Structure 1
Amino acid sequence: MQVPETFDYERASSIDDAIALLERHGDEARLIAGGHSLLPMMKLRLAFPEVLIDINDVPDLDHIRIDGDEIAIGAMVRHAAILDSALLAEHYPIFRDAERVIADPLVRNRGTIGGSFCQADPAEDLSAVGAALGGSVVVRSSSGSRTVPMREFHEGPYETKVGDAEILTEVRFPIRNATGSAYEKVERRVGDWAVAAAGAFVQLDGDMIADAGIGLAAVGADHFIVPDAEAALRGKPAIRESFEEAAQLCHDQCSPVTDQRGPEDYKRHLARELVLRALTRATARARGEES
């Protein structure tokens, strides 16, 4: 039977209260939101915090809204709300693509975007989405808030820029014109972790690619970005040959390992094919040919 170590439980009533509890309990405390990553690790005795601080009652963390020239998503927004958001589907359909293949309704109804980002699992879908889109993460402590570029937030497997007594409060993505985005994933069964996955963002200037972003999942120890592939796309015509060049660079520069989900060469093959598909769909959406 999987039973965690004993722990104490605190329930925060506000962001400041959550931060104060983190300061009081120190390194032995962990925040809990949906719990779908932390609780299984506790049951397996891979994580054993002495104190859990529940932030489900904390206000001001459950929003999806336009703020100036950005879309702001609160850290406590559930996967199901992201899937259902017309605002995100309009500006960044990559979220809808990814949420459709994340776990099952039970997980999507409880899991949060903040939890996904802070778990920092190399195979996690929304972190690959964030890598493709860029944007920023807002982190708050008792001394105020700071903003971390999305691509600097993950420091490695299960490690982030969130420091002691800090809490991720929001993720933000710029609103851009003439853009499209898409997510492609291969999994062994519905709702499973990815064998490999790829997200892509494209901004067009006529028939040319003005900007592009690519995020990969499950093909390396980090939430893998391929700057060379993105650079190869900028200023190029938005045609299959350009996408194939970028996809090949992703194949060559990713670093998968052989495990129970598949051999290394198969994952490299998937990285190339999924990047090609994601770029093709993202471009079609930028042109208004696909929703």
Structure 2
Amino acid sequence: MRSIIIEDEKPAARRLQRMVTEIDQAPVAVLHNVNDSIEYLKNNDHPDLIFLDIQLSDGLSFEIFDHVEVSSSIIFTTAYDEYALQAFKLNSIDYLLKPIDEEELKAAMDKFSSRFRESEKTTTTVQQLDLESIARLLQNPVDKQYKKRFTARVGEHIKLFPVDEVQLFYSENKGTYLNIENGRNYLIDSKLEALEDELEPQKFYRISRQAIVNVDAIQDIVAYTNSRLQVKIKSFDEFKLIVSRERVKDFKNWINR
């Protein structure tokens, strides 16, 4: 099976690439935006299967199909909740909710194999789907419910923290903490991986394996060694907040949204 991944979040793309490789074989390409995907599909044989994120850094992925007649089967990968997704689950297209579960990924790939690999291949084009209706739905999706508050145990008490008061979340010594403006840090019962899907992506960004920052809390951004960036946040001095080099471009796009 020949597949490609179209996913603008590079950590998510790498994780999906690894998972797909473990189940079948490595994707032949990993693309990160609409424009690169159009160029690739215009100039290369189309794969059997595309793992397609819906919202890319330069627009909705459905824009690809305005420029290229795609003959590949598609499995959507998205952060939209299942109620919105079921409204446009059409024909034999599958979807996977982020963060992607390995068992669900394997089941989706098995479904693809049983329908398209074991019999004489019948082309199912994207044009058979009502992509305009899907795109309209995604421009006005069912509201995704992001976390509004967090709790932390302080002695015998449980303290509530509205998400807007959190400057950043970080991991240290196998624990996950939230930091507020007065410089206090509180241990919470979450992992950064889970928080990525629970936080409003326009407001919070994971700059590294160790930290997720609130855009409203950023006081300064300065150049750092090896083409990286350092983010400075008021009253936080546990460690330097460094945007890893592989995330710098995405980070710049995020702060300019």
TM-score bucket (shorter structure): under 0.3
Q: Larger relative CO (CA 8 A, sep 6+): 1 or 2?
A: 1
TM-score (norm 2): 0.27
**Greater radius of gyration (CA):** 2
TM-score (norm 1): 0.25
